[in-house]
Chains A and B, each alone.
Chain A
């Protein structure tokens, strides 16, 4: 009964909720360019000239619609990086991600302003990563119109 040697039962469950995300015209264009042309397209605020990555409907500073696109990258420099040791669940499968992995904010070539693109970096040794290092986007062979069409960034 309530003795110390009692077997305790846990039931592992994965609660799985299907969901849909409407891209809208701006995010849709950004994702289509990744998928069809392997191009990273920032959009440019008509008022302040800031580049936004990923492209968004409205300038976060001026709050005006942003419809003009400019190709940037695929190379850039590391602005910051994080090594992630916690094997967090992948929201698409519920399975634990392989840890450690590295995320980085990359300031892509051609960007006016400070907006960086957040993505994975294929290097998990912190001694080999420095701020300011040049990196390049590596695209997947099979692309579906998602942020994962970029596989990761690699150090050049």
Chain B
């Protein structure tokens, strides 16, 4: 048994799965607008008159096609929900702790989820006014908005 035990050990491994996320025609327009014009776009449903963000192909209420229903939104909004991330994972955008908030931008009816920084995460409250800060180097991802900061 002694002889056998020295041969029990643990091998470290890694499971890596490369994949590509395709943003689609609607998502691509939203992302290129963030990257090239620093503009956050929403979509106004022609039937319901609701303005949605992040972008989608179809209105979730009446199934109207929203592919060409773009409207520009303000880069200032109001926090409608907030949580503090306290754990570390490689795929997360920032080292913890940081605040992840639902932010209802001016002109929109639905909130956008993003990071609120430049303030103690514990002090991010519902109702707080925040403003988008764009990354200097933008690559066509949601992180082209670096974070939101108190306005």
**A interface residues (Cβ-Cβ under 8 A, vs B):** 1-2, 6-26, 28-29, 31-32, 67, 89-96, 145-146
Contact = CB atoms under 8 A, between A and B. Distances in A.
B25 interface: yes
B31 interface: yes
A36 B80 CA distance: 61
Interface of B: 4-29, 31-32, 67-68, 70, 90-91, 140-141
B14 A1 contact: no
Given A8-B28, A9-B140, A19 B7 contact: no
Interface of A, helix, strand, loop or mixed by DSSP: mixed
Nearest to A18: B14
Contacts of A14: 16-19
B14 A17 contact: yes
A13 B9 contact: no
A35 B13 CA distance: 17
Nearest to A20: B10
B7 A29 contact: yes
Given A1-B29, A92-B14, A28 B7 contact: yes
A51 B17 CA distance: 35
A28 B13 contact: no
Greatest chain A CB density within 10 A among B7, B14, B17 is at B7
Contacts of A26: 7
